Amino acid sequence: MEDMQPANLSNGLVEILETVLDKGVVIAGDISINLQDVELLTIKIRLVVASVDKAKEVGIDWWESDPLYSTRAVEAEKENELLKEKIHQLEARIGSDTPTTKEENDE
Amino acid sequence: MTTDVNTQKLIYLYGFIPAEEIKEKGEISIPGIDSDYSVEFYTYGDITVAACLVKEEEFNEQELNKKVEDMKWLQEKAFHHHDNMNKLHEKYTIIPLKFGTIYQNKESMESTIGSYRENIQHIFQELEGKEEWNIKIYTDVKKFKESVAVTSPAIEEEQKKIEELPRGKQFFAKKKIEKRIEEQADNDIIDYCENFHEEVKKYSEAEEVKKNWEKKLTGREDDMCWNAAYLIPEEHVEKVAKLVKDKRTGEENFTFEITGPWPAYHFSDFSKGKK
């Protein structure tokens, strides 16, 4: 039995979190919690335990920029698209032979 | 610790225990998820609920949903939930509830339990004398693929044939064989794990095959290729342990990890109990 680990002693952080946050019987309580995706939570928590600042220092912060996981990143991506489009429009104008006057622009 | 008697309280639930076990073994004393309160046992007929009071201002829906965004808080409370569940499980048969099951008052809790009464009883019977164990298998997929390329006679022969082809054709033939090696390696890994699973199934009452975790989750250098939970009768646990031990002996390609006994997180589902 020396190879078997009791759940309360040596289970990894990941295994405990994945089980506790994702499993167990669901009954209708009076209060509902909106938990994020359990894998993402586990990764985030693992990093918190290992110090978030340290993780960011070495460049591990993909969840903040991955549009799949972050609403802020989704917004940033939309904004990015909008800005890109504006730049394209401006570039097109600069590149065109006929200079654009303010009046024309407003039309 | 003293708490204002006027503070409004909610009830946080851990799990269900057969009432006769509480009668027989007595209650244990453990702290609650709100450190101002301890775990209490409420009995309704033949079902006892392990629960604790929590302050409304900290555990109401709005506040709680803010708190679960705080990873430090969530980690601490998730570990508390698991720790208490383990302590309860060490002493009693327990149906573990999901993290964050909260009721406004005892009446509301009692009415919900009433509607699940038969299912709870059914699960108590299913869990009696059984333990949940989790088994994970890891392999270094890249290394495994290399070994397939070297050890498969069919592939070796084909590789020789490729060398005889004109250079232009060699490129595509090589791509094709690389794909074949990958497919064969993937199939070999699945076969190995499924065969092992079949062996464990001889001793288990129920199984749940889970998703393999990615490396960013495991933090390991090799790849998880099997992740499953098993409900094993106590008398068979040693046999499964021996099976894993025997598999480990002399095994170069695969690493085994077995953990438990866990509260039956994977085998207490009421909807399954209804079948």
pLDDT along chain A (107 residues), means of 10: 43 79 86 84 77 53 50 67 84 66 45
Using the Cβ of A46 and the Cβ atoms of chain B, whether some distance falls under 8 Å is answered with yes
Tokens representing B87 are: 């302590």
More confident of the two residues A103 and B233: B233
- Note the pLDDT of residue B167: 79
Using the Cβ of B259 and the Cβ atoms of chain A, whether some distance falls under 8 Å is answered with yes
Q: Which chain B residues touch A46 with a CB distance below 8 Å?
A: 217, 219
Give me the mean pLDDT over the B103-119 stretch.
92
Among B99-108, B156-165, B223-232, B261-270, the range scoring the smallest mean pLDDT is B156-165
Is the whole model's pTM more than 0.90, yes or no?
A: no
Cβ separation A1–B100 shorter than 8 A: no
- Note the pLDDT of residue A1: 46
Using the Cβ of B49 and the Cβ atoms of chain A, whether some distance falls under 8 Å is answered with no
Point out the residue among B68, B218, B258 whose CB comes nearest to the CB of A4: B258
Domain extent listing, chain B: 9-128, 132-273
Distance from CA of B146 to the nearest CA of A (A): 29
Whether the Cβ atoms of residue B147 and residue B274 lie closer than 8 Å to each other? no
- Note the pLDDT of residue B124: 95
For residue A34, the chain B residue with the least C-alpha distance is B65
Cα gap B210→B214, rounded to integer Å: 12
Tokens representing B40 are: 């209490």
User: In terms of C-beta density within 10 A (0-12 exposed, 13-18 middle, 19 or more buried), how is residue B204 classed?
Assistant: buried
More confident of the two residues A99 and B93: B93
Cβ separation B99–A21 shorter than 8 A: yes
- Note the pLDDT of residue B96: 96
The angle at the Cα of A11, spanning B102 to B95, to the nearest 5 degrees, equals 35
Whether the Cβ atoms of residue B192 and residue B254 lie closer than 8 Å to each other? yes
Distance from CA of A71 to the nearest CA of B (A): 13
Domain extent listing, chain A: 24-31+42-64, 67-97
Distance from CA of B143 to the nearest CA of A (A): 25
